[in-house]
Structure 1
Amino acid sequence: MARRVAGVAALVVVLWAGVASAAVYEVGDKTGWTIMGNPDYAAWASSKKFHLGDTVVFTYNKQFHNVLAVSKADYKNCDASKPTATWSTGNDSVVLNNTGHHYFLCGFTGHCAAGQKVDIRVASSSAAPSESPSAAPSPTPSGSKPSGGATAAPSPHPNAAPKALSASSVAATVAASLLSLAAAVLA
């Protein structure tokens, strides 16, 4: 019985650490997802350390932009004809569920060629926490079709001010749920 309690406690600690380390990044920071002002998304992405479970938020005017997940070849060629996922709400959150490169571009004519594309690389080890979280998620966007290791996450409210994700409150909720489950299993 003591071993079972120790095992459950270890599981709670591991899960708590995983929840607490996830970060949320706004693509382009305050500039957002745009072609105005010629943002350098390559520099933005290379200045971050992305890990499994992190969320990237694309904020943009949906009348003029969208977000497409594409293959490496389509990213290099700015080919928006066969995306693996499409988002178009203007405030889209994508959870990075796989290591490696995640390629995104704007599907509006000429926008990718003008630099509206980003290669987000997720480190192969998620041991270190991410830096600079910038927005908190809430309801899921409609019309999202995520795939290829990136999934739709709840989008921030359009009028919400950027802020850090409250990992401690999420972690506390997860831990409490796990402890309740453990108590039921041990009873």
Structure 2
Amino acid sequence: MSQGRCSATFVTVMMLCLLVLHSQVADAAVYTVGGANGWTFNTESWPAGRRFRAGDTLVFNYSPSAHNVVAVNKPGYDNCSAPKGAKVYQTGNDNIKLVKGPNFFICSFQGHCQSGMRIAITV
């Protein structure tokens, strides 16, 4: 009889864990960077007023012959430079999940970051 109660408690705990995990995944949002204009110049202020969470997805839409997206660190963001080994996205329709903490992205094409093609998001 004791074993039955233990099994039922275990199953209940596992179901609650699955429910919590499912609700966290269901809450993830998808944001198109720059809105209808996409990833382009002067998008630096685009994150303002938005609330982001870990697991949310940023969609970067752009012409791959004209732009790219580079995940950088704070110095790379501040200096508009891609550090060695930085992840470069160049499909023109990149989906990037946000991680907890600071997330920095720039376009590494000459002069683009300096023209506001960069965003900083803290989750």
CA RMSD of aligned residues (A): 1.3
Aligned to 2:106: 105
Q: Is the strand fraction higher in 1 or 2? A: 2
Shift of 1:41: 2.5
Shift of 1:81: 5.0
Separation in structure 2 between the aligned mates of residue 108 and residue 81 of structure 1, nearest angstrom: 14
Aligned to 2:97: 95
Aligned to 2:61: 59
| Residues 72-119 of structure 1, C-alpha deviations (whole Å, 9 max, x = no match) | 1111111135352110000000011x3211110001000001110000
1:19 equivalent among 11, 18, 25: 25
Q: Over alpha carbons, which structure has the higher Rg?
A: 2
**Aligned partner of residue 22 in structure 2, secondary structure:** helix
1:10 equivalent among 16, 19, 31: 16
Gaps of 5+ in 2: 1-6
Q: Structure 1 7/81 Cα, relative in aligned 2: closer, same or farther at 3 Å?
A: closer
Gaps of 5+ in 1: 123-187
Identity of aligned residues (%): 42
Alignment: residue pair count: 117
Segments of 4+ moved more than 3 angstroms: none
Q: Structure 1 83/54 Cα, relative in aligned 2: closer, same or farther at 3 Å?
A: same
Separation in structure 2 between the aligned mates of residue 69 and residue 22 of structure 1, nearest angstrom: 20
Q: Structure 1 83/49 Cα, relative in aligned 2: closer, same or farther at 3 Å?
A: farther
The answer to whether structure 1 residue 86 and structure 2 residue 88 are counterparts is: yes
TM-score (structure 1 length as normaliser): 0.59
> One-letter code of the match for 1:94?
I
| Residues 118-162 of structure 1, C-alpha deviations (whole Å, 9 max, x = no match) | 00111xxxxxxxxxxxxxxxxxxxxxxxxxxxxxxxxxxxxxxxx
Aligned to 1:114: 115
Q: In the TM superposition, what are the counterparts of 1:35-54 in structure 2 within 5 Å? A: 35=41, 39-42=42-45, 44-54=46-56
TM-score (structure 2 length as normaliser): 0.88
Separation in structure 1 between the aligned mates of residue 70 and residue 97 of structure 2, nearest angstrom: 14
> One-letter code of the match for 1:100?
G
